[in-house]
Amino acid sequence: MKIKVTDREGNKHELEGDTNSTLMEILRDANLDIEAACGGCCACATCHVYIKDEWLDKISGKDDDEESMLDQAFDVKHTSRLSCQISLSEDLDGIEIELAPE
């Protein structure tokens, strides 16, 4: 499955995803500039991404934990998600995302 990422400089990357990983893990392992300080336990907001609108419905919704961690992020939009909380599935093949400001 493919993941299309726009980084903070506007460069586009196409990454290979797999259904055993979270979105954060794919971004981190591709050495994109994503801190993911807590390692994926939804305890920081350093894996903040924007999901392209048309993909939002395909992803399971935010829980309270994620919503409250997003309070520590900058420029939160309705498309904001913490990428560690998104488990990849075949439905998400081709998903387009953008890295949020650090």
Q: What would the two tokens of residue 77 be?
A: 């939009």
Kindly state the smallest distance separating residue 20's Cβ from other proteins, in Å.
18
Residues 36-95 close enough to bind other proteins by CB under 8 A = 37-39, 41, 43-46, 67-68, 70-76
Kindly state the smallest distance separating residue 63's Cβ from other proteins, in Å.
13
Radius of gyration of the chain (CA): 12
Kindly state the smallest distance separating residue 67's Cβ from other proteins, in Å.
8
Q: Do the beta carbons of residue 25 and residue 90 sit within 8 Å?
A: no
Please tell me the count of residues contacting other proteins according to CB under 8 A.
Answer: 20
The total of other beta-carbon atoms located within 10 Å of residue 20's CB is 8
